[in-house]
Amino acid sequence: MKRFIAAFFVPILVLIAGTPASALLPAIPETGGTAEAEAPVQTIEDTQAAGADERMAQRIEGIFSELPAFGAVEVDVSQGVVTLSGTVPRQEDIARAEAIAGRVSGVVTVENGLERDLSISSQGSGIASLAERWDGFVAMVPLIGLALLVWAVIAFLGYLIAGFGALWHRLAPNGFLAELIASSIRFVFVIGGLVIALEILGASALLGAVLGGAGLIGLALGFALRETIENYVASLMLSLRQPFRANDWVMIGDLEGRVIRLTSRATVMMTLDGNHLRIPNAQVFKAVITNFTRNPQRRFQFDLGVDADDDALAARQLGREVLEGLDFILADPPPEGRIVEVGDSNVVIRFLGWIDQNETDWWKAQSRAIPAVKHALEEAGFGLPEPIYRLRFDPRSASVPFGNAAEGKRDEASAPPARDVRQPATIAASEDVRPTHEIAEMVEKERRESGSEQDRDLLDHSRPVE
């Protein structure tokens, strides 16, 4: 209040009398606003009332007598110094006894000599607690039995429903999904029975802890087994989509072969050289799949280069006529020849032909068509030159003069002779181009001899291919 009055009236008096404000303000002591009051130091009296030690000892002993844990504690007080001796049943009772004795008025300090009693007889309270818990457990045995019975009945019902395999196989598009449905039913009934059993026991708090722990464990396992789960889901999707059949000739990414089976973990293939190949289904699901078996008609192609001085259109027409004359080349779609590139020394022509894979082997057809067209072009006088490189020399460094006459003589001597264009010869049809089935037969043999693995094949021939 004094500060407020001084701050309010002093400026007014300064304006009236012209007196400096510092002369009118009283000396106000400065105090720290944040300073804390120091705790008072307890002093020890230089004299002690008669009988004070006995009264403190009686007071402390009276307090300890009301606490069962301090029944064996002895108290001795001399000049305000309390000495505790004896034993207590628990370790924390030592500090507790010292704290109680220190709060009694007149106590200067406490000498704590208590020790924990490690004898079996001193643990009577703990044994009694165990006995009480055992009695409680025995009393709950009928309720526990009822909860276990309810859990077993519900779980058995789930297994019974999941055991209707014919029903789930009829509803599901394939066996893999049917087994997944059955497993899900069993899991739901077992967990549901456990929840009901815990509710009967009144262990709802335990149920929450179990479900919370299961959630955390499931999350951790989800991150740890991410690739396994991804592979499992890919297996399910592949079994639903059916991208190929058994013994189909496919290329998955850059891996080529014939399909043996599709399992819940991998796609098993046999390469064209007879080796087994297992591709994880997650990789198969994400890969580009080329199926060579689905369409029996397949095209092959090859490139041939004719001399740049020759008639490329005539060479193209001749090659197409040769392909039309081969009995294994389909007339519809007809064979074709395309001029695709003019090189440094030749004109590149691409020849294309279609075959029926059920009647003709693709590799054999291509291997026979290439030499047939090449031979026909050569017989007709068309050149199939190799790359030509031209070298230019500096005349100043040459030992032989580069005269026009010398050049003319060399040009005449090195000029190629004129080609004799002849009609193409008839191509003899002597080589067998029928398809070979050695890899397909190996695949079928393994599928027949696979036994139990055949039952796990997820390829269903009754469903359409995607």
Q: Which domains does the chain have, with CATH numbers?
A: 52-122 (3.30.1340.30), 135-224 (no CATH), 246-293+441-455 (2.30.30.60), 295-386+421-435 (3.30.70.100)
pLDDT-based confidence at residue 300 (cuts at 50, 70, 90): very high
Residue type, position 366, single letter: Q
Mean pLDDT value of segment 339-346: 86
What is the Cα–Cα distance from 306 to 312, expressed in whole angstroms? 7
Residue that is written with structure tokens 């017989």 in the block:
379
- pLDDT for 304: 93
What pLDDT shows up at residue 313?
93
What is the average pLDDT across 221-248?
82
Question: Average of pLDDT values for 3-30?
Answer: 45
- Confidence (pLDDT) at 134: 81
Average pLDDT over residues 94-117: 89
Specify the pLDDT at position 320. 94
Residues 6+ apart with CB under 8 A from 379: 422, 423, 424, 425
CB 269 within 8 A of CB 229: no
The region of weakest confidence among 56-70, 199-213, 225-239, 436-450 is: 199-213
Task: Dig out the tokens for 34 from the structure.
Answer: 């944040």
What is the spatial distance between Cα 82 and Cα 268, in angstroms, rounded to a whole number? 86
| HEC letters along 19-48 | CCHHHHCCCCCCCCCCCCCCCCCCCCCCCC
pLDDT of 18: 46
- Given a cut of 90, whether residue 270 has pLDDT beyond it is yes
Least confident of 117-126, 277-286, 360-369, 388-397: 117-126
Query: Mean per-residue pLDDT for 103-116?
Result: 89
**Region for residue 36 given its phi and psi (left: phi exceeds 0; alpha: psi -120 to 50; beta: otherwise):** beta
Residue 340, pLDDT score: 92
- Distance, in Å, from the CA atom of 95 to the CA atom of 190, rounded to the nearest integer, reads 51
DSSP state of 388: -
Mean pLDDT of 207-222: 70
Q: Is the pLDDT of residue 425 over 60?
A: no
3-state secondary structure of 435: coil
Mean of the per-residue pLDDT values of the chain: 78
Q: In what order do the strands lie in the sheet with 73-78?
A: 73-78, 81-88, 109-116
Please report the pLDDT score of residue 136 as a whole number: 77
Q: What is the pLDDT of residue 410?
A: 47
Q: Please give the torsion angle defined by the CA atoms of residues 335, 341, 347 and 350, in that order, rounded to the nearest 10 degrees.
A: -20
Question: In the prediction, which pLDDT does 347 show?
Answer: 92
Average pLDDT of the segment spanning 400-414: 49
Range with lowest mean pLDDT among 118-122, 129-133, 226-230, 415-419: 415-419
Q: For residue 395, say if its preceding peptide bond is cis, omega within 30 degrees of 0.
A: no
Distance from C-alpha of 442 to C-alpha of 463, rounded to nearest angstrom: 24
pLDDT-wise least confident of 74-78, 354-358, 453-457: 453-457
Rounded to two decimals, the pTM is: 0.53
pLDDT at position 205: 66
| Bridge partner residues of 113 (DSSP) | 85
**91 pLDDT more than 60:** yes
**For the chain, percent of residues with pLDDT exceeding 70:** 73
Which of 288, 443, 297 minimizes the C-alpha distance to 359?
297
Indicate the SS3 state at residue 191. Answer: helix
* Residues of the chain above pLDDT 90, percent: 28
Give the span between the Cα atoms of 434 and 54, in whole angstroms.
122
Average pLDDT over residues 94-123: 83
The pLDDT score that the predictor gives to residue 42 is 64
Q: In 3D, which of 220, 161, 169 has the Cα closest to residue 193?
A: 161
Q: Is pLDDT of 209 > 80?
A: no
Q: What's the average model confidence in pLDDT over 230-235? A: 85
Q: Which two tokens stand for residue 142?
A: 């009928």
Phi, psi dihedral angles at 332 (to 5 degrees): -135, 110
Position 406 scores a pLDDT of 47
Residue 257 clears pLDDT 70, i.e. is over it: yes
Asked if pLDDT for residue 416 goes beyond 50, the answer is no
Q: Which residues contact 65 (CB under 8 A, 6 or more apart)?
A: 71
Q: What is the distance between the alpha carbons of residues 339 and 399, in angstroms, rounded to a whole number?
A: 44
Lowest mean pLDDT among 18-32, 212-226, 445-459: 18-32
Structure tokens, 167: 């029903």
Range of lowest pLDDT (60-64, 227-231, 377-381): 227-231
Which residues on neighbouring strands pair with residue 116, listed in sequence order?
88
